């Protein structure tokens, strides 16, 4: 279960990344965003659209055939000013983080920070 501390973890992740205006935790199997940290509280429609985009990019049934049989674990929808990153947990494939980060940004840093938070979340759930 989530408590207030997970939103603080998302806040800390945004601060660590710098120039990250939104971080959200989604359950891909339920197609729901469960926690959000953002500069300005986003509208529900924006959150739902981001969740749909995460499912499109990470759960498309035809994608594993392109990736040697494995599902995608990372995706980026890039713009010139900011990009949307979708990172699936290596520990629990239904968990994912959605991040909107200002450009320029390198994917490796986003990946490492996101997986670190997702792993800690999974470990916390296993322990509880």
Partner 1 sequence: MKDARRLKNRIRKLNAPARQSEQGREIASGADASPLAAVLLEVDETMLPRRLVFSRGDARLSLSAGNRRLIGIEHAEGSAEAPAKPLMGVSLTRPDVALLGRLRDALTTALAGSEPIFVRTEPAADGQVDFAAGTTAQALASAWGVDLSADAGPPDAPDEAGGLDMFLTTAPSLARAWVRLSSGGIADTGGDPATLGRLQAFAGSADMANIDMVPASGSNRFVAIGRSPDDGDCLLFVSAGLEAALLMIPAETLDQAKKTWQDAVR
Residues that bind partner 1 (CB under 8 A): 49, 53, 56-58, 60-63, 65-68, 70, 72-80, 83, 103-104, 106-108, 111
Closer of 7 and 63 to partner 1 (Cβ): 63
> E-assigned strands of the chain?
20-27, 32-38, 74-78, 82-88, 95-102
Q: Measured from the CB of residue 104, what is the shortest distance to partner 1 in angstroms?
A: 7
Q: Measured from the CB of residue 126, what is the shortest distance to partner 1 in angstroms?
A: 22
The angle at the Cα of 119, spanning 71 to 7, to the nearest 5 degrees, equals 110
Q: Measured from the CB of residue 36, what is the shortest distance to partner 1 in angstroms?
A: 19
Q: Measured from the CB of residue 22, what is the shortest distance to partner 1 in angstroms?
A: 15
3-state secondary structure of 84: strand
86: nearest Cα among 97, 94, 95, 78: 97
Closer of 40 and 106 to partner 1 (Cβ): 106
């Amino acid at each position: 279960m989530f408590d207030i501390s997970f939103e603080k973890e998302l806040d800390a992740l945004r601060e660590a990344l710098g120039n990250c205006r939104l971080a959200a935790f989604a359950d891909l199997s339920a197609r729901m965003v469960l926690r959000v940290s953002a500069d300005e509280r986003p509208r529900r429609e924006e959150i739902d659209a981001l969740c749909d985009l995460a499912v499109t990019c990470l759960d498309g049934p035809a994608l594993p055939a392109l990736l040697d049989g494995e599902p995608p674990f990372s995706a980026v929808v890039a713009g010139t000013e900011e990009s949307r990153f979708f990172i699936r947990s290596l520990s629990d494939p239904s968990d994912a983080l959605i991040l909107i980060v200002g450009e320029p940004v390198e994917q490796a840093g986003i990946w490492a920070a996101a997986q670190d938070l997702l792993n800690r979340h999974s470990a916390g759930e296993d322990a509880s």
